């Protein structure tokens, strides 16, 4: 956000690209692996950031969040049929108290909410990128998406806690 305020979209793009590479390097040095989500996000930032800088067109960078969110929606959707647990369960189950028992149908509901949320947020990102100012998009991307996803995760955790307590 600071790079955008001080140098504009192209400076912010370059800073974002460098920061993503540094995050991947730090994650690898610390854990000796890079999470698939971090690797995908970094790859998309590098591809779309490079296109933005070379072609001097911020539209490429603006598409990146939508593409990532839609890929995640697809991954969550497919996870219902591939593997033992849907992605929502793999991500949220460790955050639940020990001994919490959530049924598979409840995990599938949670997973479908994530599919819908990622799909809608991807569409909303594109709508804002195409219709509002660059600054409005930057703030939506920097704050709006983060707040929306955090609120969704907290809401899901609270719902799962309530389901556990009711069972």
14-51 pLDDT per residue, tens: 999 999 999 999 999 999 999 888 999 999 999 999 99
pLDDT band at 1 (very low <50, low <70, confident <90, very high): confident
Write down the pLDDT at residue 94. 80
Q: What is the pLDDT of residues 60-82, one digit of tens each?
A: 999 999 999 999 999 999 999 99
How many whole angstroms separate alpha carbon 53 and alpha carbon 162? Answer: 48
Locate the domains of the chain by residue range.
Answer: 1-56, 58-167
- Between 1 and 17, whose confidence is greater? 17
Give the position of tokens 């995990």. 107
For residue 13, pLDDT over 60 is answered with yes
* Angle, in degrees to the nearest 10, between helices 36-55 and 2-31: 140
Residue 68's contacts (CB-CB under 8 Å, 6 or more residues apart) are 40, 41, 44, 122
Is residue 70 within 8 Å of residue 119, measured between CB atoms?
yes
Span 104-114, mean pLDDT? 92
Give the global pTM.
Answer: 0.86
């Amino acid at each position: 956000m600071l790079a955008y305020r001080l140098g504009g979209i192209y400076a912010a793009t370059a800073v974002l690209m460098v920061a993503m590479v540094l995050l991947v390097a730090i994650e690898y040095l610390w854990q000796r692996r890079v999470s698939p989500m971090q690797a995908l996000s970094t790859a998309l930032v590098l591809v779309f950031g490079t296109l933005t800088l070379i072609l001097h067109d911020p539209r490429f960078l603006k598409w990146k969040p939508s593409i990532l969110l839609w890929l995640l929606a697809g991954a969550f959707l497919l996870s219902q049929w591939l593997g033992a647990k849907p992605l929502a369960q793999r991500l949220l189950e460790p955050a639940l108290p020990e001994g919490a028992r959530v049924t598979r149908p409840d995990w599938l509901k949670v997973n479908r909410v994530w599919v819908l949320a990622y799909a809608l947020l991807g569409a909303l990102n594109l709508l804002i990128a195409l219709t509002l100012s660059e600054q409005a998009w930057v703030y939506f991307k920097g704050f709006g998406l983060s707040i929306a996803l955090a609120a969704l995760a907290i809401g899901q955790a609270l719902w799962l806690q309530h389901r556990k307590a009711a069972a």
